Amino acid sequence: MTEALHPHLSVLLQQAVENNAPELCTFPIEKARKLYQVNAATLASEPPKIGKTQDKTIIGEDGDLPLRIYWPDECRESGLPVLVYFHGGGWCLGNIDSYDHICRWLAAHSGCVVVSVNYRMGPEHQFPAAVDDAILTTQWVADNAADIGVDAERIGVGGDSAGANLAAVVALIMRDKPTVSIKAQLLIYPATDMRMSAESHQTLGEGYRLTRSMMVWSVVNYLRDGSNVFDFRASPLLANDHANLPPAMVLTAGFDPLRDEGEAYANKLRDSGVPVEYVCYADMIHGFI
């Protein structure tokens, strides 16, 4: 692994230091969410052209659950593969809009239909509300595959950070209750162990955008109490069995406190016989996607 940050990121982080920018965890939750949205818009690249999007609501356990569906091209072929995508943001920040450019990029370059969801978040809706919404959304995609032009036998789940955590959990749950056949999982710098005890949490917990204090704040907002860190629906690395899970692509960043637990999850899957492609972008930080 390279010893140096990408030069663009070095400049970005230095600017944050010079501007004395406060961490989002120092603000009330609604203010933090607005700032997160602004930051996402500032950093987003120009989105690629895709065929069409549609906003939709489905009935969730606590009211309407908003979705956005992205078709890769105008023809809207039937039987396309589909990726159910869960956004990042520490289970308490982020939404469909702040991840719109990423979902457009995924649809354009993968040829998959992408379905993004505004799952419930902490602290208003704590664990396992986000898990329940992720399961419900994935089940809805399978049940309504023909209506949205996708193949119910080619469903993948994916996400980044907290969203990758949810994707990994959905894959575990659906394996044991196979109402949906998950064929792939895309885990971008996944949070897999709520104990936050991996070495990278100690060595990279300051100075690289995602800090130890931000992680603690996120986990406290999300989990009801400390005992939930051992629940596999919060910490998929701690599941009793990782065999027979869908093939996985796991991406990590070299200067990310989540790096080691992402690599540990990739190794756990591989050791359990799951096909894994693991890539560490050694000069990147958390959030580089």
How far is residue 240's CA from residue 237's CA, in Å, rounded to a whole number? 9
**Residue entry with tokens 């609604």:** 30
From 133, 160, 193, 256, the catalytic residue = 256
65 and 57 in contact (C-beta within 8 Å)? Answer: yes
Q: 220: closest CA among 210, 209, 228?
A: 228
Q: 131: closest CA among 79, 61, 179, 193?
A: 61
How far is residue 151's CA from residue 289's CA, in Å, rounded to a whole number? 27
Long-range contacts made by residues 127-131, C-beta under 8 angstroms, separation at least 24? 127/91, 127/222, 127/223, 127/224, 127/228, 127/231, 127/233, 127/234, 128/231, 128/233, 128/234, 129/61, 129/62, 130/91, 130/162, 130/166, 130/222, 131/166, 131/169, 131/170, 131/173, 131/233
Tokens of 56: 């939709």
Please report which residue ranges of the chain form alpha helices under DSSP H.
7-18, 29-43, 100-110, 129-143, 145-148, 162-176, 199-203, 212-222, 259-271
Q: Is 161 annotated as catalytic?
A: yes
Tokens of 261: 């637990």
277 and 180 in contact (C-beta within 8 Å)? Answer: no
107 and 70 in contact (C-beta within 8 Å)? Answer: yes
Tokens of 244: 């027979």
From 87, 201, 242, 286, the catalytic residue = 286
Q: Is 45 annotated as catalytic?
A: no
Q: Is 231 annotated as catalytic?
A: no
From 161, 200, 218, 235, the catalytic residue = 161
**Could you give the residue numbers annotated as active site?**
161, 256, 286
